[in-house]
Amino acid sequence: MASKKISREAPEGFDQSWLACRAPYDQEARSEHLATLAYETVTQAEYQIVMDLGCGSGNNVAFLSARWPGVQTWLGVDHDPALVAAATLRFADGKPEFEGLVADLLDLGELLGERQPAVLIANAVFDLFTQDMMAEILEVLSISRTPLLSTLLYTGMVWEDALPDDGWVIGQYEAHMMRQRPSGRGLGPKAPEVIAQLVEALGGTLRSEPSLWRVPASDQHLQGHLLRFMEGSVPEMLSDAASQQRFLSWLTARRATPSVCTVHHLDQWITW
Ligand SMILES: C[S@@+](CC[C@H](N)C(=O)[O-])C[C@H]1O[C@@H](n2cnc3c(N)ncnc32)[C@H](O)[C@@H]1O
C-alpha cells in the first residue's frame, strides 16, 4: 500500500448547473465499446454492485443505470456533502437503488474493505487529481483487483473559428489545471498518460478510446461556462499587466466570435 502522506483537499464546490449542462455532451461522447466491456464484467460478478467515484449529483449513475440492467446497488462516493445529498434525492424513489457516501477518494481502501464492487466507475474526475493521489488509488485497485471505467478525462480543446491567442490562453488554462497544490501538481491534460504509465507499472491492462464534445456555437450556456472557468483561472497564471490585458482582449473577442468548440477527452477501461 502506498505510504506517502497525501494532503486531503476541501471540495471545490462544483456547480450543479455546470454538471447538468455537461451531462448530455458526456453521454454523447462516451465510448460504447469500453462501457460494454465494463458491463460484461459486472454481469459476471457474484455481487452486482457498482461504485461511482466522484459521483457529484449522480449523472454517471443516471446514465449507466438506464443501460446496465441487473445492477443490485449503485454506490456513489464524493467528498462534497451537497452533491451527495443531491444524488441521494435524485434516486430517492429507489430507481436505481442508490447509496451515497460522503468520503475522500483517498480513503478508497477502507471503502472497498466494507463493500467490494464488481466495477468502479468515475466520470470527469481524475484529471482533477495529482500524480500521488492517482498512484495511491491505482495501487488500492491493483491490490483488490477492482476494474475501473474512467470516462471523460480532459486532453485538450480547440475553437474551429480560431483567434490568434486561442493557443496561448488554452495553454494558460491547462497550466492552471496543473498548478502546484498541497497534494502536488494537478494532472489536467496529462491524466490519461500518467494513468497509463501507473497502470503498466502495476501490471494492469488499460484500453483507451476518445470521447470528444462538439459544442455548437449556438450553445451559449456551455460555451459561457467554459469561458467563465477561463476568466476565473487564467488571470491567476499571469504575472504582469500586459498579459492580463492580452487575456481580457482575447476574452472579449472570443465572446464576440461564436464558434464550434471541440473539447477532447479520453475514456479508459482498466483491469488487473
Ligand atoms: C467534474 S465533477 C464530476 C461529477 C460527476 N462524476 C459527473 O459526471 O457529473 C468531479 C467530482 O469529483 C469530486 N471529487 C474531486 N476530488 C475528490 C476526492 N478527493 N474525493 C471525493 N470526491 C472528489 C468532486 O466533488 C466532484 O463531484
Give me the residue spans of the domains in the chain.
Answer: 16-155+185-214+263-271
From 27, 30, 65, 79, mutation site for ligand 1 pocket: most ligand atoms within 8 A of C-beta = 79
Decide if 89 contacts 57 (C-beta within 8 A).
no
Q: Is 208 in the pocket of ligand 1 (CB under 6 A)?
A: no
Closest approach atom of ligand 1 to CA 104: 20
CA distance 150 to 247: 33
Q: What is the number of other CB atoms lying within 10 angstroms of the CB of residue 250? A: 19
Domain 16-155+185-214+263-271: CATH architecture, name and number where available:
3-Layer(aba) Sandwich (3.40)
**The three grid cell numbers given for residue 98, joined into one nine-digit string:** 442508490
CA distance 39 to 244: 48
Pairing of strands 119-123, 148-159: parallel
Provide the whole-model pTM: 0.97
- Percent share of the chain, pLDDT over 70: 99
H or E stretch including 119? strand 119-123
Condensed to tens digits (0 to 9), the pLDDT of residues 134-182 reads 999 999 999 999 999 999 999 999 999 999 999 999 999 999 999 999 8
Q: Is 54 in the pocket of ligand 1 (CB under 6 A)?
A: yes
Q: Is the pLDDT of residue 230 over 70?
A: yes
H or E stretch including 63? helix 59-65
